[in-house]
Chain A
C-alpha cells in the first residue's frame, strides 16, 4: 500500500516547513454562561501523532470544531496550516482530513458511490488507496453504508479521509464504539499513513492503550483547561507516584505542588504528582512519614490522574471508610 501513497506533501507558498501546522492562541468558547474551552493555547508541529485527551465534556470536540472553523470561538484564535481557522480557504481545507466522531456517511450510498462522490471535491483523490483501505477493513463494496457495522463505517470513513491525501489529519474519537479488531485496523492504517511521510495527526481518544502505542505527543484537557501539552516521553517522566508510609494513622495530605490524586490507606498515602522535583525525603520529613518511595506509573494511570477529580475525595472508598 505504501507505493500508493504520494510522498508529495505539499506546502503552500510562503509557508515555512518549520511553522506549526496547528496553532491555537487563547482559544475560548462559551455555551451559555459556561466556558467549555478556556484559554487554550497549543502549538503542534509538522509530523507526528498528537493525542488529545480528556474526559467526556472536557472540550475536545469543541476545540476540534473551532480549529476546523466549524464553530466560532468566543475569543482567541487558531490557525491551521498557516491559515486562520475562521476563513480556511478551500485549497487549505483540501489538505486537511477530518473524521467526525460518529463516522457520518450517506446511508443510501455504497462505498464505491461514496468514493465517487467524494472524489469530485478532492483534486488529489487516491482511488487505489481508498480501495486498499476498504479491502483492509474487509468491507463488501455492495453493501450500503447504512447497513455497515460501526467498525466498517469507520473504515469507509477513514478511507474517504485518507484517499484525499491530507497533510493534516484530525480525528475526533475515531475508535469510539469499535471492537478490538476494528480498533487495531484503524490504528494500523493511521500508523501507516503518518510514519515517515511528514504528515500530522491530531486525534482525540479514550483508548489509552492505543494512544500509548501511536502518539508522539499528548495534550490533556481537564474541565475546559489545557493542563498538559508535551512530547510523550516528557509526560511519562513528569508524572510519578510518591508513597508515604507512616507508623500510625496517615495524617492529612501534605501540601504538594502538582498533586493530582491521593489514595489513602491505613498507614499509607499514595500521591500522584506532576512535575515532582524528586525531593522525596524532604516531603517525607515534612509529612512525618517513616518511609518514602517514589514509583513510576503506567501511562493509563498517569492520564487518569489528570482526568479524575483532584484531592482525597477522588478515591471513593476513602469516604466509605470514613463513614464506617
Chain B
C-alpha cells in the first residue's frame, strides 16, 4: 500500500500542472457553452449541444491526456528501467499510476462540472427550470471519460506491432462513448462505462506488466488487448471498404418513386417521380394512364394546390405525445421540461413542466421566474399554484404567441401566452375518455390564425369530432376500431367538389402497406366503404454484385451475427428498404462471408502453426479467424508475436529462432564460431 501510494502521489505531483491547465480549459469551454450557447431561448444549458459536446468528447480526451502523461515520460528505455526496477510487483506500480491518472482526470473534469451545476442551480442565472437530474448526462460522460485514462496509457506504452495499431484503443474508447450516448437510462450508462473501463484497464494493466520491450502477454492480457483492438480493426476495415466503394460506385443509379395521392376533386392518382429529381413529377391514374388535365403538374407546390387538404389524426394516445418522446435521459430535456418555441415571446421564455402540469415563464433579461400558467390562469412566482392541466401534454412544442392551441389528453385550451391568459377551454372529453390529438383546420396555404381557423378536429379514442373554432360540435365520425388499429398516419381529408370527408392512412407500421381511404357519410358521419390502393414503396435497384460480396467479406460471420442480433433486439425499423434491396443479392453476401471465414481461418491457423504454437491455440486462432474473417487475421497480427525463423544448419529447413532445438531435426543452434582468441577461465 505504501508503494502504491508513493507511486500515485509521485504522478499526481508530477502532472498536477497539466491537470490544472486542463481544468481551466474545460472551465472556459463550459462557460462559453453555458453563457453563449443559446441559453434562455429554446436551447437548454445541460442539454445544449455545445455543453454535451464538451462532456461527450472533451472528457474522454481529458482522460486520455492524463493517462498518456502518467506513462509517456517513463516509457523510454532508461526512465522505464528506473521506474520498474523496484522491489514491488509491476501491477502495484500500474495501479498507482492509473489511480493517479483517474484522480487527476476526475478532478480536472469534475471541478468545472460541479461549478457549472452549482451555478445553474442558483436562480437568476439561466432562464429555465433546474433539476439536479438534468446533470445526469454530463455526469455519465464524466464517468465514461475515465475510459480515456487506460487508453492514454496504452497509447503511450504499447509498442506498435504494425503501423497504426498503437492508436487502435481509441476506437474502443469511441465505442464506450457511443454506448453511453445510446443508453436510455443513467444506470445503463454507468453500467456500460464500468464494463468498458474494466476492459480497457485490464488491457492497459497487462500491457504495462509486459513492458515497453514487451514480454509476450499472457492469455488474459492477449484477450483483453484483442477486445480493445477489435473495434478499431473492424471500423478501419469498413471505412476502407466504404472509401473503396465510393471510388468504385460514385453514383447511385436513378430509380422511380411511386406513391398514391388524393385530390380535391376526389380522384386518387399515382404520383411518380425520379429519386434524384423530386421536382419532376408525373401524375397518372390508377391504371397508369396520363391525366391530360394534370399534365402541367410537375412540382410539389402545384400538386399541393390540387391535393385534398388533410389534417393529422393521432392513432393512439402516446404516438404524438411529447412525453412519449422523452425516451432517453440524455437526449433533450423533456423528462424535466418542454421548451416552447419562444421566438417571438417578447422577452419571456415559456416552458411546460410535466411535474406540476403547468406552463412556467421566465424573464429573459433577469433569468428570474415570473410565474406559471395553469387552467386557473396565471399565478405569479411568489404565490403557490395548485391547479394542473389535465392529462398528458400532446402535440409538438407550441409557439408562445398570442393565441395558441394547447392540447392535453384531458382537454383542449386556447392560450394567450403574451397576455398570460387562458382564453378558452375548447373541449374537455367525458370522464374516462382521453384525447389523442386536436388540430385546427385551415385552408391550404393559409396562416394558422384564429380568424382563419375553419374548425377544430379532435380525436378521442376511435371517434373524430369536428368542432367550430369556439368548441361547438359540428360533426362526429366513429371509425371502426379495427381500422384505427391497423392504419397508421391517419389523416382527415376533405374534397370540395362535392364537399366530402375521407379518412386516409397506410396499413402496417412499417409504411409498406397499401394506401387506405375510407369515405365518411357527410350527413351522419358514419364510416363508409374502405378502399385500398397498392402503393409500392420505392425499391432501389440492387447494387453491383461485388458490393454485397465485399460487405459479406468484411463483416464475416461475426459481423453478420452481430447485425442479426441488433435487428432481433431493435427491429428492422427504417432499414426495410435496405433489406428489400439486399435480399436479391443475399447469395453474394453469403459467398463473401464464406470466403472471409475460409481465408481468415486458414490465415490464422497457418500463422499460428508457423509460429510454433501448440495445437490448442492454433485451433483457437483458426476458429477466431473463421469467425472474424480478415479482422481476425489482422487482430492476430496485433496481439500475437510470431517469432522469426532461420535456416537450420542440420536439416536446412526454416526453424524458429526462439527454440533451443530445431523442431524438425532436433539439432541445437550452432555456437558462435571460435577464432582462437577466446579466453574463458572460471571466475572466483
- Is A70 in contact with B683, judged by CB distance below 8 angstroms? no
- B574 to chain A: closest CB distance in Å? 52
- Is B85 in contact with A68, judged by CB distance below 8 angstroms? yes
Q: What is the bound-complex CA distance between A310 and B682, given in angstroms? A: 26
What would be 11 A-B contacts, judged by CB atoms less than 8 Å apart?
A: A26-B660, A30-B644, A32-B644, A39-B669, A68-B85, A90-B88, A104-B82, A120-B3, A122-B87, A258-B677, A275-B676
A65: interface (CB < 8 Å): yes
- Is B6 in contact with A117, judged by CB distance below 8 angstroms? yes
B432: interface (CB < 8 Å): no
B162: interface (CB < 8 Å): no
A55: interface (CB < 8 Å): no
Which chain B residue shows the least CB distance to A258?
A: B676
- B241 to chain A: closest CB distance in Å? 32
Chain B 71-113: CB-based contact to A (< 8 A → 1; otherwise 0): 0000001111110111111000000000000000000000000
- B221 to chain A: closest CB distance in Å? 14
- B90 to chain A: closest CB distance in Å? 10
Which chain A residue shows the least CB distance to B211?
A: A70
Interface hits, A227-243 → B, CB 8 Å: 227-231, 234-235, 238-239
Known: A45-B683, A229-B681. A100 touches B81 (CB 8 A): yes
Which chain A residue shows the least CB distance to B9?
A: A117
- Is B676 in contact with A257, judged by CB distance below 8 angstroms? yes
Interface hits, A218-273 → B, CB 8 Å: 225, 227-231, 234-235, 238-239, 257-260
- Is A39 in contact with B672, judged by CB distance below 8 angstroms? yes
Q: What is the bound-complex CA distance between A294 and B284, given in angstroms? A: 116
Question: Which residues of chain B are within 8 angstroms of A208 by Cβ–Cβ distance?
Answer: none
Q: What is the bound-complex CA distance between A45 and B681, given in angstroms? A: 12
- Is B213 in contact with A71, judged by CB distance below 8 angstroms? yes
B643: interface (CB < 8 Å): yes
Q: What is the bound-complex CA distance between A201 and B220, given in angstroms? A: 38
Q: What is the bound-complex CA distance between A83 and B114, given in angstroms? A: 52
The interface of chain B, by Cβ under 8 A from chain A, is 2-3, 5-6, 10, 13-14, 77-82, 84-89, 211, 213-216, 643-644, 646, 657-660, 669, 671-672, 675-684
Known: A94-B87, A106-B10, A228-B679. A86 touches B672 (CB 8 A): no
Q: What is the bound-complex CA distance between A123 and B214, given in angstroms? A: 29
Known: A45-B683, A100-B78, A121-B87. A108 touches B669 (CB 8 A): no
> Which 3 A-B pairs rank lowest in CB-CB distance, beginning with the nearest?
A45-B684, A94-B87, A257-B676
- B488 to chain A: closest CB distance in Å? 65
Contact of B87 among A86, A90, A225, A228 (CB under 8 A): A90
Q: What is the bound-complex CA distance between A76 and B669, given in angstroms? A: 11
- Is B672 in contact with A38, judged by CB distance below 8 angstroms? yes
A283: interface (CB < 8 Å): no
Which chain B residue shows the least CB distance to A87?
A: B215
Question: Which residues of chain A are within 8 angstroms of B676 by Cβ–Cβ distance?
Answer: 257-259, 274-275
Interface hits, A53-96 → B, CB 8 Å: 65, 68, 70-72, 74-76, 86, 90-91, 93-94, 96
- B92 to chain A: closest CB distance in Å? 9
Q: What is the bound-complex CA distance between A258 and B644, given in angstroms? A: 33
Interface hits, A1-33 → B, CB 8 Å: 20, 26, 28, 30, 32-33
Which chain A residue shows the least CB distance to B216?
A: A72
- Is B86 in contact with A121, judged by CB distance below 8 angstroms? yes
Q: What is the bound-complex CA distance between A239 and B678, given in angstroms? A: 10
Contact of A260 among B672, B677, B682, B683 (CB under 8 A): B677
A98: interface (CB < 8 Å): yes
Q: What is the bound-complex CA distance between A30 and B215, given in angstroms? A: 13
Contact of B85 among A30, A71, A93, A306 (CB under 8 A): A93
A44: interface (CB < 8 Å): yes
- A203 to chain B: closest CB distance in Å? 15
- Is A75 in contact with B659, judged by CB distance below 8 angstroms? yes
Q: What is the bound-complex CA distance between A93 and B669, given in angstroms? A: 32
- Is A20 in contact with B684, judged by CB distance below 8 angstroms? yes
Q: What is the bound-complex CA distance between A74 and B642, given in angstroms? A: 12
Q: What is the bound-complex CA distance between A228 and B678, given in angstroms? A: 5
Contact of B683 among A65, A103, A229 (CB under 8 A): A229
Q: What is the bound-complex CA distance between A272 and B216, given in angstroms? A: 44
Question: Which residues of chain B are within 8 angstroms of A68 by Cβ–Cβ distance?
Answer: 81, 85
A105: interface (CB < 8 Å): yes
- B208 to chain A: closest CB distance in Å? 13
- Is B84 in contact with A70, judged by CB distance below 8 angstroms? yes
Q: What is the bound-complex CA distance between A274 and B13, given in angstroms? A: 56
Contact of B677 among A104, A234, A274 (CB under 8 A): A274
